[in-house]
């Protein structure tokens, strides 16, 4: 049976955003982003000398660039080390191959239940739907993912999947699904989830996790979490499957720790997360726990085609979500408006790369280009310029609406001719200044409904900025 997968809605981002802005419950949930992420990140970085943080960023960027430049070498070295420790690497070019590989492994071990740690790549390939269609039972053990799975929803954030829900929402959901008295406080809700999930680890035949890093030096996978679910998902079932994309590779353990120092600070505002767990191979003689089988499913799914292109820097992304947390667009509409797995500025870059600009054209345009995302990115990814590249690509392929393309073409024609530009803008400023002098603003303007639909347009003073500058400072 082939599961029915909900289509992506990235192409109707505008419609999704209108609904999100009109949702008071969502807006209340999103208001917590500053407290939970932005402010905590600021406090965490305040404890680190500025020059040390700058040096860490530069080192992390350099080592990722080096790894991407030699990706084939490090992937082959990683696979060899995994084999040395009793594990097996499975190379998957597409999402379909990754799903088929995982289902085949589950059948090899006669598995029925899979304890899953958090994995954005799992969301990318829509793994749960296919596991269920194959008669398997995936159980999300990360608290946020557990809530999302129970609700039949999709994550709306990289590190906080259920950020779009309030504690009242979760209380209602738990009362309905767990058949227990409704709780309203977060510690009580967490305790209830722990009670419900603890037996599932012992029941699971296979543990499946993602990976923050794959370490070529040792053949290890590493996960960075604030919950113990990741560890329990790995050590209790008889087989452990790691699902990760090829860009997660780093050369050494030291490199992984270097990036970890900035990952936790920029993501959750911690010096280090509660758990930093390295897994290497199968259980050895004398080990008290650990899996008898270890498999790594390595997914490409379009990433290798970005190597050597203008979009390669997005492969440095460590999924810290700092760009989401500081983006005025994301904080206004949330993650579901983006219509697919990856959201915010990084999603506006990676989604067109993986799905195609034809299916996600509005996302690179969902930015004010304020530059905040690039400024706070710990891996120095030039997100605005990458989004601009996708805008240019969409324009060249005539994917943008005709009115937009023709309007931009007309503006470009005028802008390339300084005298004509000065004449046109000067005339426009005088006309608008004349008609708007009384109120000082316009509540509606032809061809500017996108602006005046939510705010007034200030009336110019009758002269362009260039003219005013020339009058004050001369032509120089």
pLDDT at 6 over 70: no
215 vs 78: CA distance, rounded Å:
7
* Greater pLDDT, 6 or 378: 378
Q: Indicate the residue among 400, 430, 457 that finishes a domain.
A: 400
442 strand-pairing partners: 457
pLDDT at 453: 79
pLDDT at 381: 97
51 vs 45: CA distance, rounded Å:
11
Average pLDDT of the residues in 12-18: 94
Q: How confident is the model at residue 4 (pLDDT cuts 50, 70, 90)?
A: very low
pLDDT at 443: 87
- Is residue 29 in a domain? no
Q: Indicate the residue among 269, 301, 333 that finishes a domain.
A: 301
- Is residue 227 in a domain? yes
180 vs 167: CA distance, rounded Å:
16
The model carries a pTM of: 0.88
pLDDT in tens, 19-57: 999 999 999 999 989 888 888 888 888 888 889 999 999
- Is residue 8 in a domain? no
* Phi–psi pair at 341, nearest 5 degrees: -70, -45
- What domain range is 467 assigned to? 415-473
234 vs 294: CA distance, rounded Å:
9
362 vs 323: CA distance, rounded Å:
18
**In contact, 443 and 452? CB cutoff 8 Å:** yes
pLDDT at 1: 44
**In contact, 401 and 450? CB cutoff 8 Å:** no
Q: How many CA atoms lie within 13 A of 255 on its CB side?
A: 24
Interhelix angle 39-46/253-267, nearest 10 degrees? 130
207 vs 322: CA distance, rounded Å:
29
247 vs 119: CA distance, rounded Å:
14
CATH of residue 380: 1.10.1060.10
pLDDT in tens, 328-348: 999 999 999 999 999 999 999
Do 256 and 286 share a domain, yes or no? yes
Do 323 and 370 share a domain, yes or no? yes
- Is residue 69 in a domain? yes
CATH of residue 284: 3.40.50.10420
The structure tokens listed for 123 are: 């969301």
Torsion angle, CA of 372/378/380/385, rounded to 10 degrees? -40
**In contact, 271 and 264? CB cutoff 8 Å:** yes
- Is residue 105 in a domain? yes
- Is residue 5 in a domain? no
pLDDT at 404 over 90: no
Residue count (the chain): 476
pLDDT in tens, 59-93: 999 999 999 999 999 999 999 999 999 999 999 99
Do 61 and 198 share a domain, yes or no? yes
The structure tokens listed for 312 are: 């390669």
Do 338 and 455 share a domain, yes or no? no
pLDDT in tens, 230-285: 889 998 999 999 999 999 999 999 999 999 999 988 988 888 888 999 999 999 98
**In contact, 335 and 155? CB cutoff 8 Å:** yes
Domain total for the chain?
A: 3
The structure tokens listed for 361 are: 């054209």
- Is residue 20 in a domain? no
Q: Indicate the residue among 245, 280, 301 that finishes a domain.
A: 301
pLDDT at 465: 86
Torsion angle, CA of 81/74/220/376, rounded to 10 degrees? 180
322 vs 375: CA distance, rounded Å:
10
116 strand-pairing partners: 140, 208
């Amino acid at each position: 049976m082939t599961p029915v997968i909900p289509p992506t809605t990235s192409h109707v981002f505008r419609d999704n955003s209108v609904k999100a802005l009109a949702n008071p419950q969502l807006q209340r949930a999103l208001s917590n982003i500053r407290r939970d992420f932005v402010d905590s990140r600021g406090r965490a970085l305040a404890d680190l000398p500025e020059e040390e943080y700058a040096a860490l960023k530069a080192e992390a960027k350099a080592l990722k660039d080096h790894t991407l430049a030699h990706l084939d070498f490090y992937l082959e070295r990683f696979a060899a080390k995994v084999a040395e420790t009793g594990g097996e690497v499975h190379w998957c070019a597409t999402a379909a191959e990754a799903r088929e590989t995982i289902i085949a492994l589950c059948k090899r071990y006669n598995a029925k239940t899979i304890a899953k740690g958090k994995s954005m790549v799992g969301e990318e390939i829509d793994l749960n739907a296919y596991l269920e269609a194959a008669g398997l039972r995936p159980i999300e053990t990360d608290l946020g993912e557990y809530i999302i799975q129970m609700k039949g929803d999709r994550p709306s954030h990289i590190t906080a999947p259920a950020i779009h829900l309030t504690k009242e929402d979760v209380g209602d959901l738990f009362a309905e699904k767990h058949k227990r008295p409704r709780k309203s406080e977060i510690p009580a809700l967490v305790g209830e989830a722990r009670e419900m999930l603890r037996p599932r680890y012992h029941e699971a035949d296979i543990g499946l996790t993602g990976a923050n890093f794959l370490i070529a030096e040792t053949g290890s996978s590493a996960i960075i979490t604030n919950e113990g679910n990741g560890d329990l998902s790995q050590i209790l079932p008889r087989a452990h499957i790691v699902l990760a994309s090829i860009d997660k590779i780093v050369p050494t353990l030291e490199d992984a720790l270097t990036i970890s120092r900035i990952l936790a600070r920029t993501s959750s505002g911690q010096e280090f997360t509660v758990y930093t767990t390295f897994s290497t191979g199968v259980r050895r003689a004398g080990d008290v726990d650990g899996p008898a089988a270890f498999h790594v499913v390595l997914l490409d799914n379009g990433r290798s085609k970005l190597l050597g292109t203008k979009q390669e820097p997005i492969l440095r992304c460590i999924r810290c979500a700092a760009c989401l947390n500081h983006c005025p667009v994301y904080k206004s509409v949330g993650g579901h408006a983006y219509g697919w797995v990856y959201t915010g500025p990084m999603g506006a870059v990676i989604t067109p790369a993986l799905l195609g600009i034809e299916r996600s054209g509005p996302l690179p345009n969902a930015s004010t280009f304020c530059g905040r995302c690039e400024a706070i990115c710990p891996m120095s990814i030039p997100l605005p310029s990458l989004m601009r590249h996708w805008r240019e690509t969409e324009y060249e392929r005539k994917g943008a609406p005709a009115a937009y393309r023709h309007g931009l073409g007309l503006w470009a024609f005028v802008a390339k001719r300084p005298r004509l530009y000065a004449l046109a803008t000067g005339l426009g400023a005088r006309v608008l200044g004349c008609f708007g002098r009384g109120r000082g603003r316009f509540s509606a303007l032809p061809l500017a409904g996108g602006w005046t639909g939510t705010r007034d347009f200030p009336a110019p003073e009758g002269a362009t900025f260039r003219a005013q500058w020339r009058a004050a400072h001369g032509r120089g």
